[in-house]
């Protein structure tokens, strides 16, 4: 997989994988997440311009969602992270979600957690160098960064769906979602594509971080083949 000038760096780091890792001293601190893995979950593709946060080829972009916004950028309810509910979040086109109005970064260079690139609470469903082109019909799904609200208050579900491919490698499909449930602190990451595709080794960071080099839970960082996600994989982050 071509990721600009970091192919050699990726190869040197591909063996560095930490599954469900966190600082041992923080494992039982209230406000952390327990992470469980499931399989066989349906990845529901999202389509339509009314759900798409982008309308043109997109790379290294931040998009703000809020309760006061309209259209796809509208939050139907406050989104939870580490026991706090936020009315503003920033979506990174490179597969991350940062809570609050500050601390986000469009960084495409995924790293092991913790990372100083993000200083506010951040979720990492699939942090990597990603690209989206809504006009490109060569893939079997609509490309974009989509949002969708389902259900009725107070039991609504809000989904953010990254549907694109790796930068510089249109053959490497990326389908990743983060799913929120109204009234719950728990979150799901769900996947519709493998992180190990053909000759392209996995290259992603999956996890959650409170901010800066503080508390974090890392699910994977550049895992070696055969990777950690495939269609139907889901990680449930249970807040405690």
Sign of CA dihedral 2, 56, 159, 163: negative
Residue 206 forms part of a structural domain: yes
Q: Please give the average per-residue pLDDT across 6-33, as a whole number.
A: 42
Share of the chain above pLDDT 90, in %: 77
Residue 81 covered by a domain: yes
Asked whether residue 4 carries a pLDDT value surpassing 70, the answer given is: no
- Report yes or no on 163 lying in a domain: yes
Question: Domain for residue 73, yes or no?
Answer: yes
Q: Is the residue at 67 inside a domain?
A: yes
In a domain, 103, yes or no: yes
Q: pLDDT digits over 187-239, tens only?
A: 999 999 999 998 888 999 999 999 766 789 999 999 999 999 999 999 999 99
Cα torsion for 123, 126, 130, 132, to the nearest 10°? -80
Confidence of residue 184 (pLDDT cuts 50, 70, 90): very high
Q: What is the pTM of this model?
A: 0.88
Predicted local distance difference test score (pLDDT) of residue 20: 40
What is the tens place of the pLDDT at every residue in 136-162?
Answer: 999 999 999 999 999 999 999 999 999
The tally of domains found in the chain comes to 1
Res 14 pLDDT > 80: no
Question: 93 with 132: CB under 8 angstroms?
Answer: yes
Would you say residue 31 lies in a domain? yes
Per-residue confidence band for 240, with pLDDT thresholds at 50, 70 and 90? confident
User: Is residue 64 included in any domain, yes or no?
Assistant: yes
For residue 170, the enclosing domain spans: 7-239
Cα separation, 25 vs 16, whole angstroms? 21
């Amino acid at each position: 997989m071509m990721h600009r000038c970091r192919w050699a760096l990726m190869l040197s780091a591909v063996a560095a994988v930490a599954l469900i890792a966190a600082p041992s001293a923080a494992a039982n601190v209230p406000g952390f997440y327990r992470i469980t893995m499931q399989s066989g979950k349906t990845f529901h593709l999202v389509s339509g311009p009314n759900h798409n946060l982008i309308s043109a080829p997109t790379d290294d972009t931040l998009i703000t969602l809020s309760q006061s916004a309209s259209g796809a950028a509208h939050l139907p309810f406050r989104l939870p992270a580490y026991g706090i509910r936020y009315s503003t979040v920033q979506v990174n086109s490179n597969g991350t979600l940062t809570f609050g109005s500050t601390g986000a970064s469009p960084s495409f260079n995924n790293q092991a957690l913790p990372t100083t690139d993000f200083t506010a609470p951040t979720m990492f469903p699939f942090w990597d160098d990603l690209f989206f082109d809504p006009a490109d019909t060569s893939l079997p799904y609509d490309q974009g960064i989509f949002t969708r609200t389902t259900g009725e208050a107070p039991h609504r579900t809000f989904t953010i769906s990254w549907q694109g491919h790796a930068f510089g490698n249109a053959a490497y499909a990326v389908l990743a979602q983060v799913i929120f449930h109204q009234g719950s602190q728990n979150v799901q990451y769900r996947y519709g594509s493998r992180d190990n595709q053909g000759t392209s080794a996995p290259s992603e960071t999956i996890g959650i971080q409170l901010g800066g080099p503080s508390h974090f839970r890392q699910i994977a960082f550049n895992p070696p083949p055969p990777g950690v996600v495939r269609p139907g994989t889901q990680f449930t982050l249970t807040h405690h």
